[in-house]
Amino acid sequence: MVRRPRPSLSEKLLAGRSVGDAIDEELGHLRAGPFDEDAFPSRLHDERVAALLGIALGVAFATCFLTGLYSHFAQTPLSIGFLSMPASPAWLYRVTQGLHVASGTAAIPLLLVKLWVVYPQLFAWPPVRDLPHALTRLSLAPLIAGSIFLLFTGLLNTARWYPWEFGFRETHYWVAWVTVGSLLVHVGAQLVVLRRTVGPTARRRLAVEAPEPPGDGLSRRGLLTATAAAVGAVTLATVGQTVRPLKDLSVLAPRLPDVGPQGLPVNRSAAGAGVLDLIRDPEYRLTVTGAVERELSLTLAELQALPQHDADLAITCVEGWSAGATWSGVRVRELLELAGASPDAEVRVRSLQRRGSFRSSELNVPHAQHPDTLLALRIDGEELHPDHGFPCRLISPNRPGVQQTKWVTRLEVL
């Protein structure tokens, strides 16, 4: 009798066997440790728990992504084609950036719990069932790596810690696209699971067919409640950095909206920017140059003698804090008029600072022409503190803090 040789893996596949069955047959004897059928006995490693956490994460990620896109484009100089960032409503950027940081912060406990609930699936057997299964698993790598990268670089950013070499904003932006792309693949692949495990009919059916297995320790409901409590706690502990009435609860907020000279936080002090001598120099002038009919060169006293206007506006730092104040000073629009600049002109605002990425900024037309866009000389009635931009600083509605240039010395009409 002739013994037939064992068919190879490829022969099995050609014979129409599923990849999963073939792998199981070939490698089944290696299945041990975390790959064992009951290696993870906790009832909390559950599909429905994972799906509910996934929905919460989806909401947080969608909020974070859209507000992040808005912030990215708000910081891109001037207009993109016909799109120009509007100057009103004045509060818009404050709300979107507050949501960006709050949804990113809330996503951290959600992601940690979700990863713990699903990590046994890393050891699913067979490791690959078919092509869609392989692709779904592969798409998890950029999703998990991207999510961890975004949430933790974002968190470090709110703490003003930049221990990396790369540019934060560009990297955060591109990794966000990769992460959201793989998130869409993941959600697509999980739609069937969602339908099976979540929703009123599923809940009723599951209560009968698959009730929570008895056991000691945390129940599934308990885990979800604890996660919700953790999300609530980190939110309350930080959101006071932008929602002022909650500031006393915000024990973990890196900045509070009323702590700093003149009751306002400081991002980069005059000393840190190396401008302490320059701002007190009697030779200080505010000049208006570029595409103008007459160049202006004004002393501080001449600026103070021009008509002064008030504006209630907030500084909204991209790092998550925001704080409002009443500013008064000279309208940029009126300075541009005095110099005979076109009302359609964009403007570059330059400071006395010699180095540093935020030493200048640009005003698009809606911002340059807005009556609340000021070169502010005073804050809540007092002369500006050096750390808030003495002798004068730009303040303009609906604009990221990085563009509220301090220690201004020149307006270049473009």
Ligand X SMILES: Nc1nc2c(c(=O)[nH]1)N[C@H]1C(S)=C(S)[C@@H](COP(=O)(O)O)O[C@H]1N2
Instruction: Pick between residue 182 and residue 396 the one whose CB is nearest to ligand X.
Output: 396
Q: Which does 407 bind (CB under 5 to 8 A by kind): Mo ion, ligand X, none?
A: ligand X
Quote the least distance from Cβ 319 to ligand X, whole Å: 7
Sign for the pseudo-dihedral over CA of 238, 243, 244, 245: negative
- Judged by beta carbon distances under 5 to 8 A according to partner kind, the member of ligand X, Mo ion, none in contact with residue 173 is none
Using Cβ positions, the residue closest to ligand X within the complex turns out to be 401
Rounded to a whole number of angstroms, the minimum distance from the CB of residue 192 to ligand X is 46
H/E run at residue 286: strand 286-290
Cα 351 to Cα 388: distance, rounded to the nearest angstrom = 13
Q: How far is Cα 334 from Cα 302, in angstroms, rounded to an integer?
A: 14
Nearer to ligand X, 250 or 351 (CB): 351
The piece of 92-100, 243-251, 333-341, 399-407 that touches Mo ion (CB under 5 A) is 399-407
Rule CB under 5 A: say whether 401 interacts with Mo ion. yes
Q: How far is the CB of 260 from Mo ion (least distance, A)?
A: 13
Residue 413, C-beta contacts closer than 8 angstroms, at least 6 positions apart: 288, 289, 290, 291, 292, 336, 339, 341, 342, 345, 346, 347
Closer residue to Mo ion, CB minimum distance, 146 or 260: 260
Q: How many residues bind Mo ion (CB under 5 A)?
A: 4
To ligand X, the closest distance from the beta carbon of 103 in angstroms equals: 20
d(CA 384, CA 382): 6
Selection from Mo ion, ligand X, none that 264 binds (CB < 5 to 8 A by kind) is: ligand X
With beta carbons less than 8 A apart as the criterion, state whether 375 and 393 touch.
Answer: yes
Give the integer Cα–Cα distance in Å for 141 and 144.
5
Which residue's CB comes closest to Mo ion?
Answer: 317
DSSP for 85-147 reads: ----STTHHHHHHHHHHHHHHHHHHHHHHHHHHHGGGGG-SSS--SHHHHHHHHHHHHHHHHH
Residue pair 291/343 in contact by the 8 Å Cβ criterion: no
Q: State which residue, 53 or 315, has the beta carbon closest to ligand X.
A: 315
Which residues lie near ligand X (CB under 6 A)? 264-268, 273, 315, 317, 351, 353, 356, 358-359, 387-389, 401-402, 404-407
Q: How many C-beta atoms surround the C-beta of residue 324 within 10 A?
A: 16
**Contact with Mo ion (CB under 5 A): which of 317, 349, 376, 392?**
317
To Mo ion, the closest distance from the beta carbon of 315 in angstroms equals 8
Instruction: Tell me how far, at minimum, the Cβ of 108 lies from ligand X, in Å.
Output: 23
Stretch that binds Mo ion, among 9-17, 222-230, 315-323, 374-382 (CB under 5 A): 315-323
154 lines the binding site for Mo ion (CB under 5 A): no
The answer to whether the beta carbons of residues 247 and 231 sit under 8 Å apart is no
Which of these ranges, 102-110, 317-325, 346-354, 405-413, lies near Mo ion under the rule CB under 5 A? 317-325
Q: Which two tokens stand for residue 225?
A: 């409640």
Contact 392, 308 (CB under 8 A): no
Q: Which residues bind Mo ion (CB under 5 A)?
A: 267, 317, 401-402
